[in-house]
């Protein structure tokens, strides 16, 4: 493949993005463009610190969040000397895990096909705020309570951080620490500053705050969950770019890494996946690019690489509202002179639900939200097909005149417009989760969860057939999940966590 790369056009696109952040008193970010040898362009905008008014630069240190994943996968499999194989099961190394979780392979844990419930989202459904502190040992004990999966391993793809946490725990029990691997095999050889703090509150030199905005202005972001290797890494966009150049050059610390991480992965039935090991593949016209994004409270990151053309871009930001994936695609599209697909409005706006399953889909102005996780819709093979460009939440959907049908996460899905019912009056009162001692109350059309000043209230909307949709605030985000009632049992369903069962208050006497 040959292509005349449009470096100047791409840099101009990057500068248009960062200029939107150049407003008084607002956070910002930086974007770099590079080949394997040279930094070909960059753009910066906004502030690194709203307290000191320090401008954002290429050396501003941020939380990379899930961009960490590809680095951890490479170190764990290629550099740890732990003897791990993608075909090994988690239970071989973590005997406290119960089936079917224990039977998930390391490869499935890292390629998002394992069905592993996401810890952060599961805790959120129990009423534990994003701000509440959870340490690593308590999280492992929590995961060992119940071996349930969101879906049978290998049958679909859905994003979860838990697999990376579990593989990191395997290494830790062998005396191998992620930060030690990071320093020895990447940071020291490349003379860059990568750190992997254990918690949000650990001191990281030169780390800039992350910010989110509410109705009263910008707020400093924070999170309490233990930072596993699913998203603990910190550094600047300059340091990230140097590492990514090593991947493009395929030498030094980056030798052989892209080949391992981007090797084709498959679901059951030999269905190919666009998610590798901490990396995704995306199509921009005839071009295949590889990358990954990251999202922590107040931080957004993304990188895209085109190994064949020796080109890459990286983006970091300390503002919650940054649409990192879209910005990265825009810059790479300009670099390749290859337009992105047209946006699609083939699916009518509305709220839809499946017939016999607790799944729902909300369509609004060319965006589809599946089980509470939203993505933009683009035109597929024809104007009647709507697709997403996301590797970890691929959608391929059509409106057949009465329903939306197709695939999400490579699993078949069928949604009809919701037919609300009056199940609300039958589910009033308190519901308990005995293993965690959590509870919530249904009071009229509101769900109330938490204790004391942490008690939150969410709006309930009928999805029909014994299902209620909940929208509930959680720090800088709004979480959306479904209550799926089956007699005295209700299952809580969100995109990343589908394993919690609560029970009627009157059932407590039998526990």
What would the pLDDT profile of 269-294 be if each residue is shown by its tens digit? 999 999 999 999 999 999 999 999 99
Contact 377, 395 (CB under 8 A): yes
Question: What does the DSSP 8-state code read for residue 23?
Answer: S
Which CA distances in Å does 100 have to 89, 155, 258, 410? 10, 13, 31, 21
Contact 192, 243 (CB under 8 A): yes
Q: Are residues 245 and 330 in the same domain?
A: yes
Task: Kindly report the average pLDDT of the chain as a whole number.
Answer: 96
With a CB cutoff of 8 Å and minimum separation 6, the contacts of 510 are none
pLDDT digits (tens, 9 = 90+) for 203-251: 999 999 999 999 999 999 999 999 999 999 999 999 999 999 999 999 9
Asked if pLDDT for residue 496 goes beyond 50, the answer is yes
Contact 290, 328 (CB under 8 A): no
pLDDT digits (tens, 9 = 90+) for 8-20: 999 999 999 999 9
Q: What is the mean pLDDT of the segment spanning 403-419? A: 97
pLDDT digits (tens, 9 = 90+) for 431-457: 999 999 999 999 999 999 998 988 999
Position 210 in a domain: no
Q: Are residues 315 and 270 in the same domain?
A: yes
Pick from 245, 242, 276, 252: which is nearest to 262 by CA? 276
User: What is the spatial distance between Cα 19 and Cα 32, in angstroms, rounded to a whole number?
Assistant: 14
Position 149 in a domain: no
User: What is the spatial distance between Cα 270 and Cα 252, in angstroms, rounded to a whole number?
Assistant: 34
- In 25-177, which ranges are continuous DSSP H helix? 68-74, 106-110, 119-125, 136-145, 162-173
Domain CATH code at residue 435: 2.40.128.210
Q: Is 89 helix (H, G, I), strand (E, B) or coil?
A: strand
Q: What is the mean pLDDT of the segment spanning 48-61? A: 98
Domain CATH code at residue 328: 3.40.710.10
pLDDT of residue 453: 87
pLDDT of residue 421: 86
Q: Are residues 379 and 453 in the same domain?
A: no
Position 289 in a domain: yes
Q: Are residues 432 and 365 in the same domain?
A: no
From 400, 417, 434, the end of a domain falls on: 417
Position 359 in a domain: yes
The 3 state secondary structure assigned to 393-410 is: CCEEEEECCCCEEEEECC
CA 76 to chain centroid: 20
Contact 301, 290 (CB under 8 A): no
User: What is the spatial distance between Cα 317 and Cα 345, in angstroms, rounded to a whole number?
Assistant: 30
From 336, 369, 387, the end of a domain falls on: 336
Contact 71, 185 (CB under 8 A): no
pLDDT of residue 511: 44
pLDDT of residue 507: 63
Position 358 in a domain: yes
Q: Are residues 368 and 322 in the same domain?
A: no
Q: What is the mean pLDDT of the segment spanning 351-370? A: 95
Q: Is 73 helix (H, G, I), strand (E, B) or coil?
A: helix
Number of folded domains that form the chain: 3
Which CA distances in Å does 503 have to 199, 439, 472, 487? 34, 9, 20, 9
User: What is the spatial distance between Cα 350 and Cα 205, in angstroms, rounded to a whole number?
Assistant: 47
Position 490 in a domain: yes
User: What is the spatial distance between Cα 158 and Cα 178, in angstroms, rounded to a whole number?
Assistant: 25
CA 386 to chain centroid: 22
From 384, 401, 417, the end of a domain falls on: 417
User: What is the spatial distance between Cα 169 and Cα 450, in angstroms, rounded to a whole number?
Assistant: 30
Q: Are residues 330 and 260 in the same domain?
A: yes
| Phi, psi at 29, each rounded to 5° | 175, -175
Which CA distances in Å does 479 have to 22, 117, 324, 471, 495? 30, 16, 20, 6, 10
Asked if pLDDT for residue 509 goes beyond 60, the answer is no
Q: Are residues 306 and 354 in the same domain?
A: no
Contact 78, 70 (CB under 8 A): no
Pick from 484, 488, 478: which is nearest to 498 by CA? 484
Q: Are residues 280 and 365 in the same domain?
A: no
Contact 329, 304 (CB under 8 A): yes
User: How many CA atoms are closer than 13 Å to the CA of 280, on its beta-carbon side?
Assistant: 24
pLDDT digits (tens, 9 = 90+) for 67-107: 999 999 999 999 999 999 999 999 999 999 999 999 999 99
Please state whether 294 falls in left (phi above 0), alpha (psi between -120 and 50) or beta. Answer: beta
Residues in the chain: 511
Q: Are residues 413 and 431 in the same domain?
A: no
Asked if pLDDT for residue 3 goes beyond 80, the answer is no
Contact 200, 222 (CB under 8 A): yes
Q: Are residues 355 and 445 in the same domain?
A: no
pLDDT of residue 22: 97
Identify the domain containing residue 456 by its residue range. Answer: 423-510
Position 100 in a domain: no
Q: Are residues 404 and 434 in the same domain?
A: no
pLDDT of residue 41: 98
Task: Give me the percent of the chain exceeding a pLDDT of 90.
Answer: 94
User: How many CA atoms are closer than 13 Å to the CA of 218, on its beta-carbon side?
Assistant: 21
User: What is the spatial distance between Cα 341 and Cα 377, in angstroms, rounded to a whole number?
Assistant: 10
Question: What does the DSSP 8-state code read for residue 308?
Answer: G
CA 272 to chain centroid: 20
- In 75-113, which ranges are continuous DSSP H helix? 106-110
* Residue 114, token pair as written in the block: 């394992």
Q: Are residues 389 and 453 in the same domain?
A: no
Position 223 in a domain: no
């Amino acid at each position: 493949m040959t292509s005349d790369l449009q470096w100047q056009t791409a840099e101009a696109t990057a500068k248009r993005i960062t200029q939107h952040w150049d407003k008084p008193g607002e956070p910002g970010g930086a974007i770099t463009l590079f080949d394997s040898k040279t930094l070909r362009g960059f753009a910066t905008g906004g502030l690194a610190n709203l307290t000191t008014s320090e401008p954002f630069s290429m050396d501003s240190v941020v939380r990379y969040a899930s961009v960490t994943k590809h680095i951890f996968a490479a170190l764990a499999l290629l550099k740890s000397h732990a003897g791990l194989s993608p075909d090994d099961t988690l239970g071989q190394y973590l005997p406290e895990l119960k089936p079917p979780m224990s039977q998930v392979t390391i490869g499935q844990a890292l390629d998002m096909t394992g069905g592993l419930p996401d810890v952060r989202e599961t805790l959120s459904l129990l009423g534990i705020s994003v701000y509440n502190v959870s340490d690593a040992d308590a999280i492992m004990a929590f995961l060992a309570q119940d071996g349930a999966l969101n879906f049978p391993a290998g049958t679909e793809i859905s994003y979860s951080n838990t697999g990376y946490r579990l593989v990191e725990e395997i290494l830790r029990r062998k005396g191998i620490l992620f930060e030690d691997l990071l320093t020895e095999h990447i940071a020291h050889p490349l003379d860059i500053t990568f750190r992997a703090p254990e918690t949000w509150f650990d001191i990281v030199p030169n780390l800039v705050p992350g910010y989110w905005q509410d109705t009263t202005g910008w707020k400093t972001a924070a999170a309490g969950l233990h930072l596993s290797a699913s998203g603990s890494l910190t550094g600047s966009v300059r340091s990230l770019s140097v590492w990514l150049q090593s991947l493009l050059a395929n030498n030094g610390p980056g030798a052989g890494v892209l080949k391992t991480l981007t090797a084709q992965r498959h679901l059951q039935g030999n269905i190919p996946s666009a998610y590798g090991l901490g990396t995704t593949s995306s199509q921009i016209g005839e071009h295949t690019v590889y990358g990954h994004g990251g999202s922590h409270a107040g931080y957004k990151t993304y990188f895209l690489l085109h190994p064949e053309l020796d080109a890459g871009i990286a983006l970091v930001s300390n503002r919650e509202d940054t649409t990192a994936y879209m910005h990265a695609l825009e810059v790479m599209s300009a670099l390749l002179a290859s337009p992105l697909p047209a946006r699609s409005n083939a699916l009518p706006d509305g709220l839809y639900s499946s017939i016999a399953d607790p799944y729902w889909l909300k369509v609004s102005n060319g965006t589809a939200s599946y089980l509470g996780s939203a993505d933009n819709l683009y035109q597929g093979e024809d104007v009647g097909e709507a697709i997403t460009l996301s590797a970890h939440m691929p959608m391929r959907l059509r409106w057949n005149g009465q329903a939306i049908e197709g695939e999400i996460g490579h699993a078949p899905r069928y949604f009809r417009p919701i037919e609300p019912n009056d199940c609300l009056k039958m589910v009033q009162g308190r519901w308990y989760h005995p293993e965690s001692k959590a509870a919530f109350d249904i009071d009229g059309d509101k769900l109330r969860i938490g204790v004391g000043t942490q008690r939150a209230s969410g709006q309930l909307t009928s999805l029909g057939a014994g299902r209620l949709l909940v929208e509930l605030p959680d720090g800088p985000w709004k979480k959306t999940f479904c209550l799926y009632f089956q007699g005295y049992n209700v299952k809580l369903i969100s995109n990343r966590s589908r394993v919690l069962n609560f029970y009627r208050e009157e059932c407590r006497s039998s526990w």
